[in-house]
Amino acid sequence: MNKRETGGCYEDMAAAYLEKEGYHILERNYYTRQGEIDIIAMDGDYLVFIEVKYRNGLKKGHPAEAVTYQKQQKIRKSARYYLYIHHLSEDKPCRFDVVSILNDEILLIKNAF
């Protein structure tokens, strides 16, 4: 399995987990010139932009640590673009979550950044 296939598999796992937690998935793999957002969903009144990170061990650190400041900035810019394209007010309650998958253990970090 290549990196994209592996990523897709774990994004499927994350999406299923989020749906069980009550999230309503709106989009997956949302691409802009600024970057990509893995999952966009609604959680109650919140529009949530979600980054999914997977590791099969801690050799390269915890998966959530891979969401660097630079990656956060790209996600923020892509989220702004999403709001603009969908004619949503910047007053719309939004947040940024991270789904961290270590082996098969899923950790949801709400308001990660």
pLDDT of residue 7: 66
Residue 62 in tokens: 């915890």
Q: Which domains does the chain have, with CATH numbers?
A: 3-109 (3.40.1350.10)
Cβ atoms within 10 Å, residue 13: 16
pTM: 0.92
List, for residues 13-52, the tens digit of each pLDDT value: 999 999 999 999 999 999 999 999 999 999 999 999 999 9
pLDDT of residue 77: 96
Summary mean pLDDT of the chain = 93
The 3-class SS string of the chain reads CCHHHHHHHHHHHHHHHHHHCCCEEEEEEEECCCCEEEEEEEECCEEEEEEEEEECCCCCCCHHHHCCHHHHHHHHHHHHHHHHHCCCCCCCCEEEEEEEEECCEEEEECCCC
